[in-house]
Amino acid sequence: MPTAPAAHPSALDALDAADRRFGWHPFTQMREYQDNPRLHLVRGEGNWLIDWEGKRYLDGNASVWTNVHGHNDPDLNRALREQAEQVAHVTLLGLNHPVATELAEDLAGLTGGALPRCFFSDNGSNAVEVALKLSFQYWQLVGQPAKRGVISMAGAYHGDTFGTMAVGARSEFHRRFNPWLFAAQTFPAPTHSECAGKVARSDATESLAALQALLDRDAATTACVILEPRVQGSAGMVQQPAGFVRAVADLCRAHGVHLILDEVFTGFGRVGALTVAELEGVIPDFLCLAKGLAAGYLPLAATLTSESIYAAFLGKSSEERTFFHGHTFSGNPLGCAVARASLRKLKPMLASGQVAARAQLLGQEMQAAFAGHPHVRTFRSSASPARSSSSPPMPTVGRPIPAPVIRSPLPPAGTDWSSAPSAIRSCSSRPSPSNPTK
């Protein structure tokens, strides 16, 4: 297997010094960062990241849950190159480029055409902001301005912008900004713990009863319920039983409240299907996609919605129905081209059971390597096969593992991970501001 050429030590020292001097890393306590050895990664190959000295590190969190086919994938590289030779960026603000239209059509297929309208943006927080703002504006446009409230699930993480912080848990990530956040109501998460298809405990009664009580009381003043379906990633891989998302959707429908499914983390094979909406047979009012959408190559996000919600925004400019929201790089053509190429690869892998077979192998190997390790608290597996396939679940350790990236043999069972870099060590520890798992 080829390795990256070792860099001249003085070049590495210069990079390190410049990083210390000029860098400010996200979700990172910079004092601790400066005081510890820093890792400069220069190349990726499959499921490995490679540092300046050619040393390989398993990309255990799939580059924060974005990577779908592995690093440096030849098909995605080709799609990126071909699009770059056409045009690297065209704004979607009042203009269009073909690959955005083609990808929008592909994404409409995720819900069998039930959510045909695709609003592009460029990261997960923005995909959720768009859904929230669309829901708020929709209720104004249809003459129900009192429907302004949001209900979210305890422990939720939907992003770092003000709207998404407001509807997420007031954790140590965001507590400092509380005075600027609008109020949202919460209902408790269900209890569920599952590993390799075996359910240790599962109870959604209290959670659903609490949501029902909130909706019975406040539906007239509630715009939407927002949910990370099946697994709350940043909360620490908090699982939900199969059928829970459908039950939430039924309650929303019965009470005339929008359902936003935030599939920023769970989308694109992460839980064994393209989306949890597909797994559960649920059509939300808004479906938020990012992270794996462009397979970890480029920042791209999409908020999908129905034709009837879209129709409420139509009218003359003077009627002020326009949705005034947009980002400079919304629907960037390079990202769209890679996303299309990724989807073309991923769909048959999911349908053929290839993902499931690799996941099964990964699950066995991970369990053999980590079960009983002092830094591993629990071992959970939280994926179901796509509805159309009979494949086994996709295992996860603490966070979902990108099953499609296994190309190289795994290290033998009993491997000592204690000297592994933080990218790997963080697989087994709790999220904290200095060790973020978002």
Ligand X SMILES: Cc1ncc(COP(=O)(O)O)c(C=O)c1O
The dihedral built from the CA positions of residue 116, 119, 122 and 127, taken in this order, carries a sign that is negative
Residue 343 CA to residue 17 CA, distance in Å, equals: 40
3-state secondary structure at position 403: helix
**Where does this chain touch ligand X (CB under 6 A) — which range of 124-132, 176-184, 363-371, 375-383?**
124-132
> Is 354 or 432 the residue whose CB approaches ligand X more closely?
432
> Is 8 or 430 the residue whose CB approaches ligand X more closely?
430
**Where does this chain touch ligand X (CB under 6 A) — which range of 184-192, 241-249, 257-265, 421-429?**
257-265
Report the C-alpha dihedral over residues 51, 57, 59, 63, rounded to 10 degrees. -30
Site string for ligand X, 159-178 (x = CB under 6 A): x-------------------
**Where does this chain touch ligand X (CB under 6 A) — which range of 43-51, 98-106, 153-161, 189-197?**
153-161
Greatest alpha-carbon span in the chain: 68
Give residues 233-252 in contact with ligand X (rule: CB under 6 A): 233-234
296 binds ligand X (CB under 6 A): no
259 binds ligand X (CB under 6 A): no
128 binds ligand X (CB under 6 A): yes
Cβ distance 38 to 16 under 8 Å?
yes
157 binds ligand X (CB under 6 A): yes
Q: Residue 66 is encoded by which pair of tokens? A: 């974005």
**Where does this chain touch ligand X (CB under 6 A) — which range of 87-95, 105-113, 226-234, 392-400?**
226-234
> Is 79 or 290 the residue whose CB approaches ligand X more closely?
290
DSSP β-ladder status, 149-153 and 185-187: parallel
Interacting residues of 121 by C-beta distance below 8 A, sequence separation 6+: 127, 129, 130, 290, 301, 302, 303, 326, 327, 330, 331
Residue 366 CA to residue 379 CA, distance in Å, equals: 9
**Where does this chain touch ligand X (CB under 6 A) — which range of 41-49, 118-126, 310-318, 364-372?**
118-126
330 binds ligand X (CB under 6 A): no
Using alpha carbons, select from 233, 241, 239, 235 the residue that is nearest to residue 264: 233
> Is 92 or 156 the residue whose CB approaches ligand X more closely?
156
Q: Which residue is nearest to ligand X (CB)?
A: 124
Determine the size of the site formed for ligand X (CB under 6 A).
Answer: 15
130 binds ligand X (CB under 6 A): no
DSSP β-ladder status, 301-305 and 286-289: antiparallel
Please tell me the total number of residues recorded for the chain in this structure. 438
Chain residues in the site for ligand X (CB under 6 A): 123-125, 128, 157-159, 228, 233-234, 262, 264-265, 290, 438
